Amino acid sequence: MRACSLRRLVPICACLSLCTPGPAAAQSDPPQGLTPGARSILSAHNCYPYQGLWSDRIDRALATGTPVSIEQDLCWVEDPATHEHHSRVAHGEPYTGAEPTLKAHFFERVGPIVEGALASGDQSAWPIIILDLDVKDNSRAHVEAIRDALLEYEPWLTTAERTESMTPRQPLTRAPVLVLLAGDGPQQAVFYDDVPVGEPLIAFARARGNAPPKGADEAGFPPESLLTQPADNFHRWWNNAWHIVEAGGCPNAGDWTESDDARLHALVARAHDLGYFIRFYTIDGCSPAECALRGWGKSYNTGSPEAADTRWRACIKAGVDFIATDDYEGLASALHEPSTRGQAAGD
Protein backbone atom coordinates (compact mmCIF):
# COMPACT_ATOMS: atom_id res chain seq x y z
CA MET A 1 0.00 0.00 0.00
CA ARG A 2 1.22 3.50 -0.84
CA ALA A 3 2.04 5.45 2.30
CA CYS A 4 0.38 8.79 3.01
CA SER A 5 2.33 11.86 1.97
CA LEU A 6 3.15 14.99 3.92
CA ARG A 7 0.64 16.75 1.70
CA ARG A 8 -2.13 14.57 3.11
CA LEU A 9 -0.96 14.55 6.74
CA VAL A 10 0.12 17.98 7.89
CA PRO A 11 -2.35 20.77 8.67
CA ILE A 12 -2.96 23.14 5.80
CA CYS A 13 -1.72 26.12 7.80
CA ALA A 14 1.63 24.38 8.32
CA CYS A 15 2.33 23.64 4.66
CA LEU A 16 1.16 26.69 2.73
CA SER A 17 4.69 27.33 1.47
CA LEU A 18 4.87 23.75 0.16
CA CYS A 19 1.35 23.05 -1.07
CA THR A 20 -0.45 26.24 -2.04
CA PRO A 21 -0.87 26.70 -5.82
CA GLY A 22 0.83 29.75 -7.21
CA PRO A 23 4.21 30.87 -8.54
CA ALA A 24 6.13 28.57 -6.22
CA ALA A 25 4.07 25.45 -6.88
CA ALA A 26 5.39 22.56 -8.96
CA GLN A 27 4.47 22.85 -12.64
CA SER A 28 4.97 20.86 -15.81
CA ASP A 29 6.80 23.31 -18.10
CA PRO A 30 10.24 21.67 -18.08
CA PRO A 31 13.25 23.86 -17.30
CA GLN A 32 16.77 23.05 -18.39
CA GLY A 33 17.35 20.98 -15.24
CA LEU A 34 14.89 18.35 -16.46
CA THR A 35 16.53 17.90 -19.86
CA PRO A 36 19.45 15.44 -20.16
CA GLY A 37 22.52 17.23 -21.42
CA ALA A 38 21.35 20.72 -20.47
CA ARG A 39 23.81 21.24 -17.64
CA SER A 40 26.73 19.62 -15.84
CA ILE A 41 26.66 19.63 -12.05
CA LEU A 42 28.74 18.44 -9.12
CA SER A 43 27.77 15.01 -7.80
CA ALA A 44 29.02 15.02 -4.21
CA HIS A 45 30.25 11.45 -3.80
CA ASN A 46 29.69 9.64 -0.47
CA CYS A 47 28.40 12.84 1.09
CA TYR A 48 28.07 11.61 4.68
CA PRO A 49 30.31 10.62 7.62
CA TYR A 50 32.21 7.32 7.85
CA GLN A 51 32.12 5.91 11.39
CA GLY A 52 31.78 9.44 12.74
CA LEU A 53 34.57 10.93 10.60
CA TRP A 54 34.28 13.63 7.91
CA SER A 55 30.92 14.85 9.16
CA ASP A 56 31.31 18.15 7.28
CA ARG A 57 30.84 16.63 3.83
CA ILE A 58 27.23 17.69 3.28
CA ASP A 59 28.00 21.22 4.50
CA ARG A 60 30.94 21.37 2.09
CA ALA A 61 28.76 20.19 -0.79
CA LEU A 62 25.96 22.65 -0.07
CA ALA A 63 28.50 25.46 0.31
CA THR A 64 29.43 25.05 -3.37
CA GLY A 65 25.96 26.31 -4.29
CA THR A 66 23.14 24.89 -6.36
CA PRO A 67 22.42 22.99 -8.50
CA VAL A 68 24.20 20.15 -6.75
CA SER A 69 23.78 16.39 -6.46
CA ILE A 70 24.14 14.79 -3.01
CA GLU A 71 24.89 11.06 -2.75
CA GLN A 72 23.56 9.30 0.34
CA ASP A 73 24.28 5.61 0.98
CA LEU A 74 21.50 3.88 2.88
CA CYS A 75 22.02 0.79 5.03
CA TRP A 76 19.48 -1.36 6.87
CA VAL A 77 20.93 -1.22 10.35
CA GLU A 78 19.90 -3.54 13.18
CA ASP A 79 19.45 -2.09 16.64
CA PRO A 80 21.41 -4.49 18.89
CA ALA A 81 19.05 -3.85 21.80
CA THR A 82 15.71 -4.37 20.04
CA HIS A 83 16.88 -6.26 16.94
CA GLU A 84 14.68 -3.95 14.90
CA HIS A 85 16.04 -2.60 11.62
CA HIS A 86 16.14 1.05 10.59
CA SER A 87 17.33 2.86 7.46
CA ARG A 88 20.46 4.87 8.20
CA VAL A 89 22.90 6.96 6.19
CA ALA A 90 26.16 5.01 6.40
CA HIS A 91 29.02 3.59 4.37
CA GLY A 92 28.69 0.11 5.87
CA GLU A 93 29.76 -1.95 8.83
CA PRO A 94 31.00 -1.62 11.49
CA TYR A 95 28.20 0.67 12.66
CA THR A 96 28.71 3.03 15.57
CA GLY A 97 25.06 3.42 16.56
CA ALA A 98 25.19 7.12 15.73
CA GLU A 99 24.38 6.80 12.02
CA PRO A 100 21.82 9.46 11.07
CA THR A 101 18.49 9.05 9.35
CA LEU A 102 17.93 10.40 5.86
CA LYS A 103 15.56 12.95 7.39
CA ALA A 104 18.13 14.25 9.86
CA HIS A 105 21.19 14.16 7.63
CA PHE A 106 19.68 15.29 4.33
CA PHE A 107 16.17 16.71 4.46
CA GLU A 108 16.60 18.82 7.57
CA ARG A 109 19.92 20.16 6.23
CA VAL A 110 18.54 21.15 2.82
CA GLY A 111 15.22 22.38 4.21
CA PRO A 112 16.09 26.10 4.31
CA ILE A 113 17.40 25.94 0.73
CA VAL A 114 14.32 24.12 -0.56
CA GLU A 115 11.85 26.32 1.30
CA GLY A 116 13.67 29.40 0.03
CA ALA A 117 13.40 28.09 -3.53
CA LEU A 118 9.69 27.40 -3.11
CA ALA A 119 9.07 30.86 -1.69
CA SER A 120 11.06 32.65 -4.39
CA GLY A 121 8.88 31.51 -7.27
CA ASP A 122 11.95 31.16 -9.52
CA GLN A 123 11.67 27.68 -11.00
CA SER A 124 14.16 28.21 -13.82
CA ALA A 125 16.88 26.00 -12.29
CA TRP A 126 14.64 23.36 -10.66
CA PRO A 127 15.52 20.78 -9.56
CA ILE A 128 18.27 22.52 -7.63
CA ILE A 129 19.21 19.45 -5.55
CA ILE A 130 19.56 15.90 -6.82
CA LEU A 131 19.23 13.30 -4.08
CA ASP A 132 21.23 10.28 -5.25
CA LEU A 133 20.31 7.29 -3.09
CA ASP A 134 22.78 4.40 -3.20
CA VAL A 135 20.76 1.67 -1.49
CA LYS A 136 23.14 -0.88 0.02
CA ASP A 137 20.49 -3.28 1.31
CA ASN A 138 17.64 -3.80 -1.14
CA SER A 139 15.40 -5.88 1.06
CA ARG A 140 11.73 -5.10 0.57
CA ALA A 141 11.37 -3.75 4.11
CA HIS A 142 14.26 -1.34 3.64
CA VAL A 143 13.06 -0.05 0.28
CA GLU A 144 9.59 0.50 1.74
CA ALA A 145 11.13 2.41 4.65
CA ILE A 146 12.99 4.63 2.18
CA ARG A 147 9.76 5.25 0.26
CA ASP A 148 7.98 6.27 3.45
CA ALA A 149 10.80 8.66 4.36
CA LEU A 150 10.56 10.30 0.93
CA LEU A 151 6.79 10.58 1.02
CA GLU A 152 7.04 12.81 4.08
CA TYR A 153 8.65 15.38 1.74
CA GLU A 154 6.63 14.68 -1.39
CA PRO A 155 5.79 18.37 -2.05
CA TRP A 156 9.52 19.04 -2.45
CA LEU A 157 10.03 16.27 -5.01
CA THR A 158 10.12 16.28 -8.80
CA THR A 159 7.61 13.69 -9.98
CA ALA A 160 6.03 12.06 -13.01
CA GLU A 161 2.54 10.66 -13.34
CA ARG A 162 2.24 6.87 -13.10
CA THR A 163 0.44 5.65 -16.22
CA GLU A 164 -0.73 2.23 -17.37
CA SER A 165 2.55 1.57 -19.18
CA MET A 166 6.17 2.51 -18.48
CA THR A 167 6.29 3.91 -21.99
CA PRO A 168 5.98 6.54 -23.24
CA ARG A 169 7.94 8.61 -20.75
CA GLN A 170 5.77 11.21 -19.01
CA PRO A 171 6.87 14.81 -18.44
CA LEU A 172 8.57 15.48 -15.14
CA THR A 173 6.71 17.89 -12.89
CA ARG A 174 9.30 20.27 -11.58
CA ALA A 175 10.08 20.78 -7.91
CA PRO A 176 13.30 21.64 -6.05
CA VAL A 177 14.51 18.06 -5.40
CA LEU A 178 14.91 15.13 -7.81
CA VAL A 179 15.43 11.66 -6.31
CA LEU A 180 17.50 9.07 -8.19
CA LEU A 181 17.84 5.45 -7.08
CA ALA A 182 20.90 3.23 -7.37
CA GLY A 183 20.28 -0.40 -6.59
CA ASP A 184 18.09 -3.26 -7.71
CA GLY A 185 15.84 -5.79 -6.03
CA PRO A 186 12.34 -4.56 -5.19
CA GLN A 187 12.90 -0.90 -6.11
CA GLN A 188 10.68 -1.12 -9.18
CA ALA A 189 7.99 -2.95 -7.24
CA VAL A 190 7.92 -0.37 -4.45
CA PHE A 191 8.51 2.85 -6.38
CA TYR A 192 6.65 1.99 -9.60
CA ASP A 193 4.53 -1.16 -9.62
CA ASP A 194 2.83 -0.44 -6.28
CA VAL A 195 2.00 3.15 -7.23
CA PRO A 196 -1.61 3.48 -8.44
CA VAL A 197 -2.17 4.78 -11.96
CA GLY A 198 -2.58 8.55 -11.85
CA GLU A 199 -0.46 8.97 -8.70
CA PRO A 200 3.01 10.56 -8.76
CA LEU A 201 6.25 8.63 -9.10
CA ILE A 202 8.59 10.18 -6.54
CA ALA A 203 11.94 8.54 -7.40
CA PHE A 204 13.57 7.24 -10.56
CA ALA A 205 15.77 4.24 -11.25
CA ARG A 206 18.98 3.84 -13.18
CA ALA A 207 19.12 2.39 -16.69
CA ARG A 208 19.12 -1.34 -17.20
CA GLY A 209 22.42 -1.49 -19.06
CA ASN A 210 24.34 -4.47 -20.38
CA ALA A 211 27.62 -5.66 -18.91
CA PRO A 212 30.41 -6.46 -21.38
CA PRO A 213 31.31 -10.14 -21.79
CA LYS A 214 33.66 -11.48 -19.15
CA GLY A 215 37.22 -10.53 -19.98
CA ALA A 216 36.17 -7.87 -22.50
CA ASP A 217 37.74 -4.43 -22.50
CA GLU A 218 35.01 -2.31 -20.88
CA ALA A 219 36.53 0.89 -22.23
CA GLY A 220 36.34 -0.53 -25.75
CA PHE A 221 32.83 -2.00 -25.59
CA PRO A 222 30.47 -0.10 -27.95
CA PRO A 223 28.07 2.32 -26.26
CA GLU A 224 25.27 0.90 -28.43
CA SER A 225 25.86 -2.49 -26.81
CA LEU A 226 26.16 -1.15 -23.27
CA LEU A 227 22.85 0.69 -23.43
CA THR A 228 20.10 -0.61 -25.70
CA GLN A 229 16.75 0.41 -24.17
CA PRO A 230 15.40 3.98 -24.24
CA ALA A 231 14.61 5.77 -21.02
CA ASP A 232 11.07 5.16 -19.77
CA ASN A 233 8.79 6.62 -17.12
CA PHE A 234 10.79 5.02 -14.28
CA HIS A 235 14.32 4.42 -15.62
CA ARG A 236 15.78 7.85 -16.33
CA TRP A 237 19.54 7.89 -15.61
CA TRP A 238 22.64 5.89 -16.52
CA ASN A 239 25.27 5.50 -13.80
CA ASN A 240 28.79 4.44 -14.80
CA ALA A 241 32.17 3.85 -13.26
CA TRP A 242 34.98 5.72 -15.00
CA HIS A 243 36.57 2.50 -16.20
CA ILE A 244 34.13 2.34 -19.13
CA VAL A 245 35.85 5.52 -20.36
CA GLU A 246 39.49 4.72 -19.56
CA ALA A 247 40.66 1.13 -19.23
CA GLY A 248 41.48 0.43 -15.59
CA GLY A 249 39.66 3.52 -14.38
CA CYS A 250 41.15 6.47 -12.53
CA PRO A 251 44.19 4.64 -11.05
CA ASN A 252 45.39 3.97 -14.61
CA ALA A 253 44.85 7.55 -15.76
CA GLY A 254 47.55 8.71 -18.14
CA ASP A 255 47.59 11.53 -20.64
CA TRP A 256 44.08 12.48 -21.72
CA THR A 257 43.99 11.61 -25.42
CA GLU A 258 41.73 12.39 -28.39
CA SER A 259 40.64 8.77 -28.26
CA ASP A 260 39.65 9.09 -24.60
CA ASP A 261 37.72 12.23 -25.40
CA ALA A 262 35.93 10.62 -28.33
CA ARG A 263 34.99 7.66 -26.13
CA LEU A 264 33.56 9.97 -23.47
CA HIS A 265 31.55 11.93 -26.03
CA ALA A 266 30.18 8.72 -27.56
CA LEU A 267 28.96 7.42 -24.19
CA VAL A 268 27.33 10.72 -23.32
CA ALA A 269 25.69 10.98 -26.73
CA ARG A 270 24.31 7.45 -26.38
CA ALA A 271 22.73 8.27 -23.03
CA HIS A 272 21.21 11.54 -24.19
CA ASP A 273 19.98 10.10 -27.49
CA LEU A 274 18.01 7.50 -25.49
CA GLY A 275 16.67 10.11 -23.06
CA TYR A 276 18.86 9.42 -20.02
CA PHE A 277 20.82 11.63 -17.68
CA ILE A 278 24.36 10.25 -17.33
CA ARG A 279 26.62 10.15 -14.29
CA PHE A 280 30.27 9.09 -14.02
CA TYR A 281 31.91 8.17 -10.74
CA THR A 282 34.32 9.04 -9.22
CA ILE A 283 37.16 11.35 -10.29
CA ASP A 284 39.64 12.47 -7.61
CA GLY A 285 43.26 13.57 -7.75
CA CYS A 286 45.63 13.65 -4.80
CA SER A 287 48.57 11.89 -3.20
CA PRO A 288 47.83 8.49 -1.59
CA ALA A 289 48.47 9.98 1.86
CA GLU A 290 46.11 12.88 1.27
CA CYS A 291 43.37 10.62 -0.08
CA ALA A 292 43.66 8.40 2.99
CA LEU A 293 43.53 11.41 5.30
CA ARG A 294 40.35 12.63 3.64
CA GLY A 295 38.70 9.20 3.41
CA TRP A 296 38.77 9.12 -0.39
CA GLY A 297 38.96 5.71 -2.03
CA LYS A 298 42.19 4.85 -3.85
CA SER A 299 40.23 3.31 -6.72
CA TYR A 300 39.06 6.82 -7.65
CA ASN A 301 42.46 8.53 -7.57
CA THR A 302 43.91 9.78 -10.86
CA GLY A 303 47.13 10.62 -9.03
CA SER A 304 47.14 14.43 -9.20
CA PRO A 305 44.80 17.43 -9.06
CA GLU A 306 45.79 18.26 -12.63
CA ALA A 307 44.75 14.83 -13.94
CA ALA A 308 41.41 15.07 -12.17
CA ASP A 309 40.82 18.62 -13.40
CA THR A 310 41.52 17.57 -17.00
CA ARG A 311 38.85 14.88 -16.76
CA TRP A 312 36.33 17.13 -15.03
CA ARG A 313 36.67 19.66 -17.83
CA ALA A 314 36.35 16.96 -20.46
CA CYS A 315 33.13 15.82 -18.78
CA ILE A 316 31.78 19.37 -18.75
CA LYS A 317 32.62 19.80 -22.42
CA ALA A 318 31.00 16.46 -23.30
CA GLY A 319 27.80 17.34 -21.44
CA VAL A 320 27.97 14.81 -18.58
CA ASP A 321 25.00 15.58 -16.33
CA PHE A 322 26.41 14.44 -12.97
CA ILE A 323 30.17 14.41 -12.39
CA ALA A 324 31.04 12.57 -9.19
CA THR A 325 34.03 13.49 -7.07
CA ASP A 326 35.09 13.67 -3.43
CA ASP A 327 36.82 16.99 -4.16
CA TYR A 328 33.66 19.06 -4.11
CA GLU A 329 35.43 22.41 -4.04
CA GLY A 330 37.81 21.52 -6.87
CA LEU A 331 35.09 20.51 -9.31
CA ALA A 332 32.88 23.42 -8.24
CA SER A 333 35.70 25.78 -9.11
CA ALA A 334 35.97 24.30 -12.60
CA LEU A 335 32.20 24.46 -13.10
CA HIS A 336 32.02 28.10 -12.02
CA GLU A 337 34.89 29.40 -14.15
CA PRO A 338 33.76 31.73 -16.96
CA SER A 339 35.45 29.50 -19.54
CA THR A 340 33.32 26.51 -18.52
CA ARG A 341 30.21 28.13 -17.04
CA GLY A 342 28.30 28.21 -20.32
CA GLN A 343 29.01 24.55 -20.97
CA ALA A 344 28.12 23.64 -17.39
CA ALA A 345 24.79 25.45 -17.61
CA GLY A 346 23.99 24.16 -21.07
CA ASP A 347 24.02 27.63 -22.66
pLDDT digits (tens, 9 = 90+) for 151-206: 999 999 999 999 999 999 999 999 999 999 998 899 999 999 999 999 999 999 99
Q: Please, which residues have CB within 8 angstroms of residue 309's CB and are 6 or more apart in sequence?
A: 285, 330, 334
Domain that holds residue 176: 36-211+221-345
pLDDT of residue 33: 83
Question: Is residue 24 one of the residues assigned to a domain?
Answer: no
> How many domains does the structure of the chain reveal?
1
Q: Please, which residues have CB within 8 angstroms of residue 81's CB and are 6 or more apart in sequence?
A: none
Question: Would you tell me how many other CB atoms lie within 10 Å of the CB of residue 290?
Answer: 13
Question: Is residue 28 one of the residues assigned to a domain?
Answer: no
CATH code of the domain containing 299: 3.20.20
Question: Is residue 278 one of the residues assigned to a domain?
Answer: yes
User: Per-residue pLDDT tens for 103-143?
Assistant: 999 999 999 999 999 999 899 999 999 999 999 999 999 99
For every one of its 347 residues, what pLDDT tens digit does the chain have, with 9 covering 90 and above? 454 444 443 333 333 333 333 333 444 444 578 999 999 999 999 999 998 899 999 999 999 999 999 999 999 999 999 999 999 999 999 999 999 999 999 999 999 999 999 999 899 999 999 999 999 999 999 999 999 999 999 999 999 999 999 999 999 999 999 999 998 899 999 999 999 999 999 999 999 989 888 888 889 999 999 999 999 999 999 999 999 999 999 999 999 999 999 999 999 999 999 999 999 999 999 999 999 999 999 999 999 999 999 999 999 999 999 999 999 999 999 999 876 644 565 44
Question: Is residue 308 one of the residues assigned to a domain?
Answer: yes
| Contact indicator for 211, 184 with CB cutoff of 8 Å | no
Question: Is residue 13 one of the residues assigned to a domain?
Answer: no
Question: Is residue 7 one of the residues assigned to a domain?
Answer: no
Question: Is residue 29 one of the residues assigned to a domain?
Answer: no
